[in-house]
Structure 1
């Protein structure tokens, strides 16, 4: 703060000196003295903030330094700081299921970004806000998929895809994330083959080891949910090597997700005891170190299912109660249906007929609600575009400029330094399913775990 105050004082003094120098009636001796003073002030300002012109110095109060010299030319606009605060709150709140606060912050962040007037910003500023914009949309997709709001997730993902096709160079690092989210969406609406395709495409598009691990995890779950022996083998091929080397991973998230999928495979291979032990270890990590209640809910649901398979009805009941509470907190309808189906079997085994009927009826209502949501999502125009097994197609640069120039009547500009025009207008968008055990078909969802 003291440094900022000093810069402001020097800026004010420089403004006064330059104002006096602009006067025409100054004597030569006074002009020389003021010019010397101007040089001294500029030198001090250059040392303090990297700028010596009055305009840049006076703008200092509206910007925050991103890094010290020699990167002093990089500035973070004040609005971007507010946007970052909103984004950080979203990223902390989402794994905990605090979706109401997430929704407020996503709305606030997107509003601030759009107020920044992307269409007329400099390339650097536009790139900064575009990256933040896609971060908000990514979190929006994740929240809506968890809440089974498939249409809203679809629209947010379509916006991400649209922004990427408009600015493929600025946003080239986001392509793998978009492909992964397409996989998340496809999996959530039951298109497991398409989901696996997009997860594996995302894997090819990134060199980030953490992201690669998560793509393998997601693809493996989609293969498991397909339900056939060949798909289970493909899942094992993906997750087996990662499981054997996971102790070398730095990230806790990757480790817990790999244990989760490996436990699913063990359950599918009719090895409930081993699956139970491994999943219990993963649950401890997820609960104590991650605090991700969606992942904890998934762990508990599978552990409750395994407890029932092993006829430990007392533990199954307690575990499933906890899991159902978390699933309701998350508004996670598919997981609720899965838990309710296990509860129905539990009550049947305990011969609690009244509870069995009541639970089954409640589960049927949830199933009807889920199918309604899925049907609505599948009927929308973006659905097929998002799930189809093709990568995002970016229109060739020459064609983009030609189309833009044809519309504007301007000659083509072959000397552009960047491959996108920030002002280029493009139409905007409008605004683990089944786990099979030895006796029955379970319903589950596997969306974004982060």
Structure 2
């Protein structure tokens, strides 16, 4: 089964917490703080794997989590950074953030892409020592790794896309001009997955051709197999529109031609302007007048026309020469630009989101980052308490409490730690 869209949950590793420790050695009293920093959390990294051709593996595993960084230790021992989690995807995979629709990466070229960054390790208490605060009894927790739901969407990389109604001879054509071996039979939707083939010409020239499964009227709305595979046409530098000029299945070649063009236009207006040539197949089954009438029809619309008999490769070479000539003048295959990540404040806690709820004069403050911060604070130690108060100010907690209507003397509860609000 061909799978070309998948959604997965990814979570980069959290940074390790900094350590609170003091140097202990015989004959050296008051050795001072020596807590080490936490290690960095692992990134989520995507890598192109040309041995993959679908996203089928993501049907069975949908959650990916990188390891957390190790916590710091005494004697200024830094925590170990976690390894990156590498996820392999087929070439041509577009990665989008489901929540925002932002394009995170286009996996069309060799190399890795970091999709979710691991959290930074927290500082040990050695960083907080000052001439007036020589024994800091607090450290900084590691920052959380990025977490999101992403959509993987495979858009094949091909120079030329073969489009047309089912059973018009697209699979036969790609089989005689390349080494591709698609299923060929005399019934609709023989081809149910896109087929790629490399077309080699004299002089060392070559290009990639894709046989797109047959389109039908209403494909852009999801009728038939068209909607599932129309996205693969978007990257093609040019299109080859294959038509059964003999109308061997009782259809009108002119109507077929117009219907497919309309489907492409409705799916993506840019496809209407994509360079295209028209190939009239099964000429051996058509009268000369039929071929000439159809040729006049498409040429009046500005398209070049090539009559062929794909099964015996008659008339194919002139068509390939025309394709190669047009490709030499066209820009390379489209690569989607990665949309930049919004700027974030440098400080871990600056303007961090909080939830405030008032019950019977008590203001309850909740936030994921606060829940992780609380165990690192020693409320019976003045330096640690001052640090905590500074965090609340810079993170906007105090301002949020004011907006919630708190008055001096009211009680603030942060995960069962209560204190009176002083403005």
- TM > 0.5: no
Q: More relative contact order in 1 or in 2 (CA 8 Å, sep 6+)?
A: 1
Q: Whose helix proportion is higher, 1 or 2? A: 1
Q: Whose strand proportion is higher, 1 or 2? A: 2
TM-score by length of 1: 0.27
TM-score by length of 2: 0.28
